[in-house]
Each structure stands twice: as structure tokens, then as C-alpha cells.
Amino acid sequence: MTDVHTPERRSRNMQAIRGKNTRPEVLLRKLLFSRGFRYRLHVSSLPGKPDIVLPKHRTVIFVQGCFWHGHDCHLFTLPQTRREFWLTKIRANQQRDQRNVLALRSAGWRVICVWECALRGRLKWDEGALLNHLTGLITQDSTDAASLCIRHR
């Protein structure tokens, strides 16, 4: 199947996709701020340039897009065209994510990953429940990696 757009138009479309300040990220920042958390954004000196950094709690938060990071949920569908390209790209993103998480954890940071499907879509979390869960993860003493990932309900 051929692309319905010209290469120039496709390029413009892809350039318009945001890497920072996405709607899910801004929503999460507003929720955290309303709970009294203060944070830094996109700290480039940390591996992976985390979306939200809470220095007081030694915690970083990544807001992951389900498509770009290959999350197994209702928001992810592999494109029908250029499947091998997309599989390679998404796998590379996942491997980079793993390297960044390991580097941050070995440097003593708590890493929380919030998936896009937790913030939007038919299975999203209630904002109050999400904020309570996230507050618990940020302030807990344990750093169990399995509990530090928030996905759809």
C-alpha cells in the first residue's frame, strides 16, 4: 500500500508531532502541581531527558506515548505500511528506554513511567485515583520497578 501523502507532506506531518509538552504530559504536570509537588522539566543532564523531575523526592517521571514506545494496549496499532521500519523504530525506542531507566536507577533515581493510555482513551484512570496512586509511588520508600509503571485500568 502506498502512502497517500507526498514525501514533503509526510515530512511536515511527522515534524509536527510533539516530543515535549504533550497533552498527557501537561495534564500530569497540572495534577502534580495541584497536589503541591514542584518539579523541573526535561532535565538534559539526566539520561533520557525525563519529562518531569522531582529533585526533592529523587524521582523522575516519563510520560510515554503508547504508539512511539510500543505499549501493548488499545491505543497502539502497528501501521500497515512500512511495518519493518516501524517495528525497528519502536524496538529501538524501547531499548533506549530500558538503558535510560537502568542508568537512572543505578544513579539512585526512582523512575516512574506513566503511559498515555492511563491519561486518555476509554480505559483511562480517574484523575483523583491516578493522582493518589502517583503520590503514593513518589513518596514511598520502596523502589520496586514493577509498581512504578502506570498503565490503563
- What's the pLDDT score for residue 54? 96
Tell me: the pLDDT tens digits for 106-121?
A: 999 999 999 999 998 8
User: Other CB atoms closer than 10 Å to residue 99's CB: what's the count?
Assistant: 12
Give mean pLDDT, residues 65-89. Answer: 88
Domains of the chain by residue range: 7-150
Instruction: Convert 35-44 to b/e letters by CB count within 10 Å (16 or more is b).
Output: eebebeeebe
Residue 122, Cβ density class (10 Å: 0-12 exposed, 13-18 middle, ≥19 buried): exposed
Judge whether residue 12 has pLDDT over 50.
yes
- 49: cell is 531527558
C-alpha span between 41 and 51 (Å, rounded): 6
Give the CATH number of domain 7-150: 3.40.960.10
